[in-house]
Amino acid sequence: MKKFTIFLTVLIAMTITTSAQWTQQTSGTTNVLYSVYFTASDTGYAVGDSGTILMTINGGNTWITQTSGTTSRLFSVFFTDAYTGYAVGGGGTILKTFNAGNTWTSQTSGTTEGLTSVHFSNANTGYAVGSGYGLGTILKTINGGNTWTSQSSGTIFKNLSSVYFTFPDTCYAVGWFGSIIKTNNGGITWTSLTTGIQNDLNCIYFIDANTGYAVGDNGAILKTTNEWNAYTFQTIGISYWLNSVYFIDSNIGYTVGYYYNGGIIYGTIFKTTDAGNTWTEQISGTLNWLNSVYFTDSNTGYAVGSNGTILKTTNGGTDLEENTLEKHINIYPNPASDIVTLNIDNINNVDLTLNIYNVIGTLVKSEMLKQSNRQINIRDLSNGIYMVEIKSKKWTEKQKLIIQK
């Protein structure tokens, strides 16, 4: 037996869920999808590799391939109304539709650099950002994309990944090495904000003019409540890469990406219900990484990623029945190879059910526990990430287990 010294002790005082509820939809493609955007509760778009543009008009039950007219990789899609939308991507590609995607027309961007994000403040004014020989590329339009003008980002060796408006003249962009830049004058000048971190930032999102979030590599999550004059930093783990963040309201938000460690990879979804103070991982049900997340209401959300992955939830990603419980759970060693010991403190000697699920949510082991201290044989399980679920008649609690032989 390989010796492990990692001891995991978790004190959970949180909302406990009995099962995650993200379901796989049929996209009709195996191309990587990078961005998803909905214009109505049932109408949405996803874009990705090889000029892929998908559309649904029935809440994702079916996705229809639209003709983009390009083979460039598309990284971002954004609509200013139900009919007018933009998609940007590799080689300076900018596409526009006037008719809800029935046709897409190429616009002249004036650059051959890759464009990774597009965002509009109104029908006419928008920005697209991306890379450019180690300099962050910024393009601006004030006429609905008829013309795009290059602006100086002031960033060196810091390509830009995401852009977001808070006011018509106030906009933020994030990128490599923890870079955050801001303009208050419509892009005449951009100012670099000090973050003090080196994590690449992949997405920025604002709830209001003051409160915003940025997520990135090594599980980085940044939050500001004063326009990035100050911020808080946390990480959900260095083996996590976060690609997108979206908030439903001031408290409830989601971030998606992937976990990678020792050859193990799977798509990750985290949810906060307390304005980002704590984040709880949900079962994504996919081994594919996730690049973008979007919610149409408090319960209905979508996430897209590699291999044409499209996930949907209709209950916020959690089971409808939730209970709050405070207790100690110890699983050790973790990682483990053949035997794990499970300690449950402060629980009376009641019958408990142990279920172990693999990363795609399949039940791989189930046992009845008759006491609060129990050794579990896991020799028959292969390397990977698992979710250990402990159930009584009144509560359910989960904890992650890594098996590594």
* Per-residue pLDDT in tens (0 to 9) along the chain, 405 residues: 332 222 222 222 223 333 448 999 999 999 999 999 999 999 999 999 999 999 999 999 999 999 999 999 999 999 999 999 999 999 999 999 999 999 999 999 999 999 999 999 999 999 999 987 667 899 999 999 999 999 988 776 579 999 999 999 999 999 999 999 999 999 999 999 988 899 999 999 999 999 999 999 999 999 999 999 899 999 998 889 999 999 999 999 999 999 987 777 889 999 999 999 999 988 888 989 999 999 999 999 999 999 999 999 999 987 433 443 445 577 888 888 899 988 776 555 567 888 998 877 788 999 888 665 678 899 999 888 888 888 877 777 778 888 888
The predicted structure's pLDDT at residue 323: 40
Residues facing residue 74 across a β-bridge: 89
Q: Which of 91, 79, 201, 209 is nearest to 144 (CA)?
A: 79
Q: How far apart are CA 293 and CA 270, in angstroms?
A: 11
Q: How far apart are CA 137 and CA 158, in angstroms?
A: 10
User: Can you give the pTM of this predicted structure?
Assistant: 0.82
Q: How far apart are CA 97 and CA 55, in angstroms?
A: 13
Listed in sequence order, the residues at least 6 apart from 194 whose beta carbon sits closer than 8 Å to its beta carbon are: none
Classify residue 200 by its DSSP letter.
P
| Dihedral, 221, 227, 232, 233 alpha carbons, nearest 10 | 30
Question: 3-class DSSP state for residue 307?
Answer: helix
Please, are residues 12 and 325 in contact by the beta-carbon 8 Å criterion?
yes
Q: Which two tokens stand for residue 355?
A: 């279920």
The predicted structure's pLDDT at residue 372: 57
Q: Which two tokens stand for residue 151?
A: 């602006």
Classify residue 228 by its DSSP letter.
T
- Domains in the chain with CATH codes: 8-13+328-403 (2.60.40.3080), 20-313 (2.130.10.10)
The predicted structure's pLDDT at residue 358: 85
Q: Which amino acid is at 53?
A: I
